[in-house]
């Protein structure tokens, strides 16, 4: 067997945002490398069967039709220590994947925060380059995806990393077998592949209020707003963007798709597993579900950043419980809650002006009457969303 194989897990991935859809990004550099796991990609061409009249069974050659490019990666979230004035260099390493998945980023130099909102459409696209390397390192295969837009999901379990999955399609893909070693390629992008020393966020130092009933500002699990006692233990939290990929076919010079758009297939959904508690914790999911009482899901993950600074990520969403199932974990009973994210309330006046789930034009904002966001970076926000994630350096 003289030919070298391409082993699993050998390669690297570069991601950058396109200035113009499908035109590719600027020249890739070492700053565009993204740590990824569970990488998959494919190039599929529709083959058109020809069944003309013939004295025998049809046996005409098929014709190549439209080309489809798909990819999927899993990755951890590694925030960086932020320094004003803020730009891409201060954003977490998954910034460009988030932006290609419909998350709009807002930078606030005054409060040194970067906030992402999950919008209802993808306003940006990315170029993604995936390199496969063979055992002998004497050749590579480059998969160069243009016009990429992605669906997203994330999950964190107690004591584990905050993991994201991005999967979607590109407008086109080129698959190029090169004779270069990976060292040669790295030289071409600046001489290094630097994943950085920033630590991934781990669900081992979770703070924040967790779950709050908005109608009465009740902190489930005890305590008061801003100072919960965490008697209602949360085992895990996961979210799905439900952003369906819509491939728009059109005649193009390359025989590829006309474009790829993100079309919401439904609201953002959450799965949250919590300990079953007695009435002393003030939490009865059946009452909340049947009364359609909105709650705020708000968690802050804290991790040490570069240089000993603390970097936190706060996940905020307004939601209604839509499903409950009973289970057990490690000798304790649990509730597994299904939730749907809805439009936020007007936090500055406790929902008096706009209540949860009423106004699609209501932006996330800071308010004294409920959790809100840690700072107020959203003044004059032009883009809206139904979930916010805010990164803060303290």
Residues of the chain with pLDDT under 70: 1-3, 120-122, 205-210, 213-217, 221-231, 251-257, 278-282, 304-309, 350, 366-383
CA distance 331 to 277: 14
pTM of the model: 0.90
CA distance 320 to 295: 6
CA 134 to chain centre: 30
Count of CB atoms situated within 10 Å of the CB of 361: 8
Residue 4 inside a domain? The answer is: no
Task: Give pLDDT, residue 167.
Answer: 94
Residues sharing a CB contact under 8 Å with residue 127, sequence separation 6 or more, in sequence order: 15, 16, 18, 24, 25, 28, 144, 145, 146, 148
Residue 51 inside a domain? The answer is: no
147 is in which domain, residue-wise?
11-46+64-393
Alpha helix (H) residue ranges in 59-157: 95-99
Task: Give pLDDT, residue 75.
Answer: 95
Residue 350 inside a domain? The answer is: yes
Residue 356 inside a domain? The answer is: yes
Residue 3 inside a domain? The answer is: no
Task: Give pLDDT, residue 13.
Answer: 93
Element (H, E) at 9: none
Peptide bond into 85 cis (omega under 30): yes
Task: Give pLDDT, residue 305.
Answer: 59
CA distance 286 to 203: 27
Residue 57 inside a domain? The answer is: no
Residue 297 inside a domain? The answer is: yes
Of the chain, the percentage scoring pLDDT greater than 90 comes to 25
Task: Give pLDDT, residue 205.
Answer: 60
The pLDDT tens digits of the residues spanning 289-339 come to 998 988 888 777 877 655 566 788 888 888 999 999 988 888 888 899 999
Task: Give pLDDT, residue 380.
Answer: 43
Q: Which residue has the tokens 């130092």?
A: 205
| Count of structural domains, the chain | 1
- DSSP letters, 150-208, are EEEEEEEETTSB-EEEEEEEESEEEEEEE---HHHHHHHTTS-----SPPPPBTTSEEE
The pLDDT tens digits of the residues spanning 87-144 come to 998 999 999 999 999 998 988 888 888 889 888 665 799 999 999 988 877 788 899 9
Residue 35 inside a domain? The answer is: yes
Given phi > 0 = left and psi -120 to 50 = alpha, else beta, which region is 371?
Answer: alpha
* Cα 63–Cα 69–Cα 71 angle in degrees, nearest 5: 150
């Amino acid at each position: 067997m003289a030919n070298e194989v391409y082993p699993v897990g050998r390669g690297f991935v570069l991601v950058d945002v396109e200035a113009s859809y499908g035109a590719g990004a600027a020249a890739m550099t070492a700053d565009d490398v993204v740590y990824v796991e569970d990488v998959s990609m494919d190039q599929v061409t529709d083959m058109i069967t020809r069944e003309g009249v013939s004295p025998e069974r049809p046996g005409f050659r098929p014709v190549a039709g439209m080309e489809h490019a798909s990819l999927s990666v899993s990755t951890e979230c590694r925030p960086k220590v932020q320094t004003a004035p803020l730009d891409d260099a201060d954003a977490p390493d998954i910034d460009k994947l988030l932006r290609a998945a419909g998350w709009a980023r807002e930078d606030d130099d005054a409060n040194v925060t970067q906030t992402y909102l999950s919008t209802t459409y993808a306003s940006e696209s990315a170029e993604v380059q995936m390199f496969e390397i063979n055992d002998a390192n004497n050749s590579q295969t480059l998969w160069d995806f243009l016009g990429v837009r992605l669906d997203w999901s994330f999950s964190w379990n107690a004591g584990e990393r905050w993991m994201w999955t991005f999967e979607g399609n590109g407008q086109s893909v080129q698959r190029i077998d090169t004779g270069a070693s990976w060292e040669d390629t790295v030289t071409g992008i600046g001489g290094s592949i630097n994943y950085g020393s920033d630590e991934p966020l781990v669900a081992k130092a979770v703070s924040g209020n967790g779950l709050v009933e908005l109608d009465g500002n009740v902190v489930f699990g005890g305590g008061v707003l801003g100072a919960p006692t965490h008697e209602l233990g949360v085992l895990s939290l996961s979210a799905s963007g439900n952003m369906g990929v819509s491939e728009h076919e059109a005649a193009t010079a390359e025989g590829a798709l006309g474009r790829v758009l993100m079309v919401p297939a439904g609201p953002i959904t959450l799965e949250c597993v919590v300990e079953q508690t007695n009435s002393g914790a003030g939490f009865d999911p059946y009452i909340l579900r049947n009364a359609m009482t909105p709650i705020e899901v708000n968690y802050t993950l804290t991790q040490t950043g570069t240089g000993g600074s603390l970097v936190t990520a706060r996940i905020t969403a307004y939601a209604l419980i839509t499903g409950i199932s009973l289970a057990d974990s490690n000798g304790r009973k649990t509730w597994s809650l299904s939730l749907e994210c809805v439009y936020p309330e007007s936090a500055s006046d406790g929902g008096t002006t706009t209540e949860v789930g009423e106004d699609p034009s209501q932006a996330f904002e800071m308010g004294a009457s409920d959790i809100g966001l840690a700072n107020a970076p959203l003044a004059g926000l032009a883009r809206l969303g139904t979930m916010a994630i805010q990164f803060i350096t303290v």
